[in-house]
Amino acid sequence: GAASIAGSASAQDALEPNPLEDITSYNNFYEFGTGKEDPMRYADQMEISPWSITVDGLCDNPGEYSLGELTEGLTTEERIYRFRCVEAWSMVVPWNGIELGDVLAKLGPKPEAKFVAFETTVQPENMPGVRRNVIPFPYVEGLRMDEAMHPLAMLATGLYGEPMPKQNGAPIRLVVPWKYGFKSIKSIVRISFVEEQPPATWNIINPNEYGFYSNVNPLHSHPRWSQESERVIGGGLFSSRQPTLMFNGYSEVAPLYEDMDLDVYF
C-alpha cells in the first residue's frame, strides 16, 4: 500500500537523496534561532530522553505515551521524499518512520474528531530562539483527519537509518511531503484530536502568507515570492532552479482536495 504509493511518486524522477550534511546543516527550527545554521549549532542542548507524548481530545486511548509505546508494534520503513520549503528551496530526504495513520488508528479517533493537532516541545533553557520569542511558542500545527490518514503522511523517527538528528526534529516529527515544510512539525510532544480546525503557527503569524492547508502549489504564489520554482539545496553557487510540482509531485493526494478552491484554501 503505502510503500508502493510513495514508490510511484518517487519513481517519476528516481529521487537522489541529499547528503546528510545538507539535511542536517540547513534547517528552519526557530526554537533555536532564525538562521539556517542555528539548529545545527544549538539543537544539541535539547533534552530528548525521556520523551513523552500527550495524547488527548476526541479519542479512545488518551494518555501519556513514551516514544516506544507510541510506535510499538508498528512497521518502520524508509521513505525517500521530496521536501519543499515555503521559502522556495527543496531537498530530498530519506526518512525512517511509521505511517501516521497507523499511529492515529492505534489511538482510536472518535467519529467527531475532524482534525488532529500537534505541538512541539518548548524548552526555554535549552532553546535560544524560544528565549528571544522570535515567533509564538509552542509551535503548533494540524491536519484534517483525512489528510492525516493518507498513507503518504508519516511520523519520522530517523533519517539515513540513524535516529533523528536533533536539528531535524528528534525524536519524532511529522512528515507530510505534499505540503510546505513548516507543516511537518518537529519534536512532537502532543497529539490532540479535535472537532474544529486547530491553530497553526505560521497561519496565526501571517494568515495572508501561510494558509492552514499549505499544500505545495506552484500556481498560488506567496505574496512576497513566486512558488513556481525552487532551488535544490546542495547545487552550489551556480545551481539552476527547478520547476515546482503541484502537491510537490505527490498527485495521489489530489482527491483530498477535489471540491476545494485551492486559491482560497491555500
Partner 1 sequence: MAVTDTINSTLRKVPAWAIYVAGFLYAAWYFYLGLTGGLGVEPINTLERKYGLTAIQLIIAGLAVTPLRRWANINLMKFRRAIGVTAFFFVLAHFCVWALLDVQTLARVWADILKRPYITIGMGAFLLLIPLAATSNNLSVRKLGPKWRQLHKLVYPAAILAAIHFIWLVKGFPWEPFIYAGIIAVLLALRLVPKKRRQPAPRRATT
Binding site for partner 1 (CB under 8 A): 21-22, 25-26, 30, 34, 36-37, 87, 89, 132-135, 205, 221, 223-226, 231, 233-234, 236-241
3-state secondary structure of 110: coil
The residue (of 59 and 93) whose beta carbon lies closer to partner 1 is: 93
To partner 1, the closest distance from the beta carbon of 151 in angstroms equals 30
The residue (of 1 and 236) whose beta carbon lies closer to partner 1 is: 236
Position 18, amino acid: N
C-alpha distance from residue 69 to each of 51, 55, 172, 191 (Å): 11, 12, 13, 14
To partner 1, the closest distance from the beta carbon of 63 in angstroms equals 34
The residue (of 8 and 239) whose beta carbon lies closer to partner 1 is: 239
| Residue at grid coordinates 545554521 | 37
Q: Count Cβ atoms below 10 Å from residue 50 Cβ, excluding itself.
A: 9
Listed in sequence order, the DSSP H helices in 55-170 are 67-71, 100-107, 128-131, 145-148
To partner 1, the closest distance from the beta carbon of 107 in angstroms equals 32
To partner 1, the closest distance from the beta carbon of 21 in angstroms equals 7
133, 34 Cβ separation under 8 angstroms: no
Contacts of 32 (CB under 8 A, 6+ apart): 38, 39, 41, 42, 43, 127, 128, 129, 167
The residue (of 21 and 64) whose beta carbon lies closer to partner 1 is: 21
Q: What are phi and psi of 201, to 5 degrees?
A: -50, -55
Q: Count Cβ atoms below 10 Å from residue 216 Cβ, excluding itself.
A: 26
135, 205 Cβ separation under 8 angstroms: yes
The residue (of 113 and 200) whose beta carbon lies closer to partner 1 is: 200
To partner 1, the closest distance from the beta carbon of 225 in angstroms equals 6
To partner 1, the closest distance from the beta carbon of 26 in angstroms equals 5
Q: Tell me the three cell numbers of residue 74.
A: 508498528
The residue (of 94 and 171) whose beta carbon lies closer to partner 1 is: 94
The residue (of 36 and 114) whose beta carbon lies closer to partner 1 is: 36
To partner 1, the closest distance from the beta carbon of 233 in angstroms equals 5
